[in-house]
Structure 1
Amino acid sequence: MSAARAVFAEQGPQASMESVAARAGLGVGTIYRRFPGKDALLDAIARLLTEEIDQAATAALEDPAPGAGLERFLEFVGAFHAEKRRYAAALTDRVADGDAVSARTAGRVQQLTQKAVDAGHLSHDVTADDIKALIVAMRGVVTAAPDGDDAPWRRFLRIHLAGLRAV
C-alpha cells in the first residue's frame, strides 16, 4: 500500500500496476493476486485514507484548547490533500455515500465545530456544513496550486478561519 501511495503521488492514477510492483519490490503477479486491478487498489487506498482522516479528527477532539483541535484537523486535511494532489480526485468518489467511517468522521467534524462555537472561538452561527464547505474549497485551492506549494491553501485556510471567528 505504501508503494502504491508513493507511485500514485508521483505519477497520478494513470500509474501502472507494474510501477507499483517495481516500487514495492514485488512481481506484478503478486500485486494482481491481492488486487484484481488498479480500481481495486485505488478503492483500498481510498478506504485507508478515509480511516486516516477519521483518526486525525479523533485526535483533534482530544485537544483541550478551544478551537485548536478544529484548526489542527483542518491543517491536517490541507496537508493530506496536498500530498495526494495528483490522485486525490481519483479517490473522491471511491468511498460510498453512507460509508460508516465517513459518517463517523462527519460526526466528529460536527463535534469539533460545536466545541469551537461553544468555547467562543468561532462565531455562534458557524456550522459543520460551513466547515465541510471550507474543506471542499480548500481541496480546490490545493488542486490549483503548483506542486509543492502549500502557501496558497494555508493562506486560504488562515483567511477563512479568521472570517469564522467570533468577534
Structure 2
Amino acid sequence: MPSLSDAPRTLRAPRRDALRNDAIVIEAARAVFAEQGPQASMEAIATRAGLGVGTIYRRFAGKDALLDAIAQTFVDEMDRAAETAAADPDPAHGLERFLDFVGAFNAEKRRYAAALIDRVASDEVSARTADRVQQLTQAAVDAGALAPHVLARDIKALIVALRAVVAASPDGDNTAWRRFLHIHLTGLRTTR
C-alpha cells in the first residue's frame, strides 16, 4: 500500500491570509527601510507589521528576499505608472506624471533606493523601462509638447540626474528635485 509520501505533490496557491501577510510585511518593510535604511532589523519590520518575526521568516528567508520582493513591487508600480502616463490624453502631462513618480519613489526611499535599483537592473526590466521612456518621449515630441530634437536618452539622463538631486537633498525636502524636474522639462519643451 503506497504511503502518503509516495503520492504526487500538487502545488497549491498561497492561502489568502499568507498573501495578505506578505502585503503587510512588504509595506511595513518599505516604511522601516525608508526610516532606517536597508540595515534595519527584521524584528523592527515584524513590529511595524504587527506580526511575529517567525511569520516573516516563513515567507521571506531574510532581508535579501524581502528587498527582492520590494524591488518586484517597485517594478510593478513603475509599469503601472508608465501605463497610466501613456494613457494620458496629454502626452506632456503623462511624461511629467511618470517623471514625478520616479522622483517621488527616489525621495520616499532615499535611504534604500540604491539597494532596490541594483535588484531591478535586469536586462528584461531595463529594456521594458527603456521602451516605456521611448514611447512616452516620442508621444510628447509627436504632440508638439517637447522640442523635436528631444530623445529618450535625454529623458533617461534626466532620470539619472533626478536621482542624484534627490540623494543630495535633505530628508523630507522634495523642493529641490521638483524644481530641478520643472526647470529641465521647461527647457525641453517646444516653443510652438
Q: What TM-score do the two structures reach when normalised by structure 2?
A: 0.83
Q: Does 1:27 pair with 2:31? A: no
Following TM superposition, the consecutive aligned residue runs of length 4 or more in structure 1 with deviations greater than 2 angstroms are: 101-106
Distance change (3 Å), C-alpha of 1:149 and 1:96? closer
> 2: distance between equivalents of 1:96 and 1:69?
24
Aligned mates of 2:134, 2:100 — CA distance in 1:
17
CA distance in 1, matches of 2:127, 2:73: 15
CA contact (8 A) 1:50 1:102 kept: no
Q: Which residue identity does 1:80 align to in structure 2? A: F
Unaligned runs of 5+ in 1: none
Listed one character per residue, the Cα deviations across residues 49-94 of structure 1 (whole Å, up to 9, x for unaligned) are: 1110110010011111141110111111111211111110111111
Distance 1:91 1:125 in 2: 32
Return the alpha-carbon distance in structure 2 between the equivalents of residues 66 and 137 of structure 1: 22
Residue 78 of structure 2 is aligned with which of 26, 47, 53?
53
Q: 2:96 and 2:132 mapped to 1: Cα distance?
A: 13
User: Following TM superposition, by how much is the alpha carbon of 1:105 offset from its aligned partner in structure 2, in angstroms?
Assistant: 2.8
Among residues 144, 157, 168, which one is paired with 1:120 in the alignment?
144
Percentage of identical aligned residues: 73
Secondary structure, counterpart of 1:126 in structure 2: coil
The answer for unaligned runs of 5 or more in structure 2 is 1-25
CA deviations on 1:89-125 (whole Å, 9 max, x unpaired) are: 11111124213x4432321211110000011111111
* Counterpart position of 2:69: 44
Of 84, 88, 92, 1:67 maps to 92
Q: C-alpha distance in 1, partners of 2:38/2:99?
A: 25
TM-score (norm 1): 0.95
Cα separation, 1, equivalents of 2:82 and 2:167: 22
* Separation in 2, partners of 1:59, 1:73: 8
Aligned to 1:109: 133
The aligned runs of 1:73-152 (5 Å cut-off) are 73-99=98-124, 101-152=125-176
Cα distance between partner residues in 2 of 1:118 and 1:17: 49
Superposition RMSD in Å = 1.2
- Work out the CA distance in 2 between the residues paired with 1:2 and 1:97: 23
Greater relative CO, 1 or 2 (CA 8 Å, sep 6+): 1
Structure-1 separation of matches of 2:121 and 2:85 = 24
Instruction: State the partner residue of 1:161.
Output: 185
Q: 2:140–2:146: 8 Å Cα contact kept in structure 1?
A: yes
